């Protein structure tokens, strides 16, 4: 059963942040971005969403996903695989022509899943060396109402002054990359380490100018 890591519900008209234990995760609204961050077994996962309409309610949920070697466990060859899914909730499409977010009968804004983003990182560590084996994932629109554009992926094993970094622009809603760098020195758990993977994309609404910029960041 999927383990829910953290949930953020934020209404940008009246700022509201759901309390999450600080020892486990934290969330915030920064310059219009609604973000949620979780710390999971040495990995830090952050997801963000920003609506083109600052008056809309949006939500992001991070979940840890099973993988071929069980969540956060090493495979037979010693590599570690971590997989995450982010579900992005946007205003309900019941009133697609309205600039006002529909309200539920219980009060509050009505939302629906606009799209999900997934990211999986497989790697091996030896002291302050890391071998980034694969980075994969993608985006799934919830319905034909939504589509994905402006896809970008960066994966890295680096510090501020050294290491390896690659930037990719997937032409479809899924991606798999094999860095093939071997073991690279990095600085785990410090401000100098950017090791991990990042993805960016835009959820767009058919027939409308509305859009939602979404991000996923995994640091290992």
Residues 56, 160: Cα–Cα separation, whole Å: 36
Cα–Cα distances (Å) from 98 to 24, 72, 94, 211, in that order, read 38, 43, 9, 14
146-158/174-177 β-pairing: unpaired
Residues 131, 170: Cα–Cα separation, whole Å: 23
Residues 89, 60: Cα–Cα separation, whole Å: 6
pLDDT of residue 37: 85
**pLDDT tens digits, 37-76:** 887 777 889 999 999 988 888 999 999 887 654 444 444 4
**pLDDT tens digits, 178-208:** 999 999 887 765 555 678 999 999 999 999 9
Q: What is the DSSP letter of 4?
A: E
Q: Give mean pLDDT, residues 100-110.
A: 47
Q: What is the DSSP letter of 173?
A: S
For residue 6, is pLDDT > 50? Answer: no
Per-residue tokens: 198:
């990042």
pLDDT of residue 96: 46
| CB neighbour burial string for 125-164, b if at least 16 within 10 angstroms, e if fewer | beeeebbbbbbbbbbebbeebbebeebebbbbbbbeeebb
**pLDDT tens digits, 79-100:** 899 999 999 999 987 654 344 3
Q: What is the DSSP letter of 70?
A: -
| pTM to 2 decimal places | 0.76
For the CA atoms of 10, 148, 118, 62, the dihedral, rounded to the nearest 10 degrees, stands at 10
């Amino acid at each position: 059963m999927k383990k829910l890591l953290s949930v953020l519900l934020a209404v940008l008209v009246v700022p509201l942040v759901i309390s999450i234990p600080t020892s486990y995760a934290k969330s915030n609204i920064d310059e219009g971005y609604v973000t949620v961050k979780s710390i999971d077994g040495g990995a830090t996962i952050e997801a963000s969403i920003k609506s083109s309409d600052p008056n809309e309610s949006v939500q992001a949920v991070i979940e840890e996903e099973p993988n071929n070697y069980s969540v956060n466990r090493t495979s037979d060859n010693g590599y570690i695989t971590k997989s995450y899914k982010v579900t992005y909730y946007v205003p309900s499409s019941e009133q697609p022509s309205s600039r006002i977010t529909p309200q539920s009968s219980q009060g509050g804004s009505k939302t629906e899943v606009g799209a999900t983003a997934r990211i999986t990182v497989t790697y091996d560590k030896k002291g302050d060396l890391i071998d980034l084996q694969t980075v994969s994932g993608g985006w799934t629109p919830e319905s034909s109402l939504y589509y994905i554009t402006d896809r970008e992926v960066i994966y890295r094993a680096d510090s501020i002054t050294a290491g390896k970094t690659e930037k990719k622009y997937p032409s479809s809603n899924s991606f798999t990359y094999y860095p093939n760098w071997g073991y690279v020195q990095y600085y785990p758990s410090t401000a100098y380490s950017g090791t991990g993977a990042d993805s960016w994309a835009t959820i767009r609404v058919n027939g409308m100018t509305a859009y939602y910029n979404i991000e996923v960041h995994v640091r290992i």
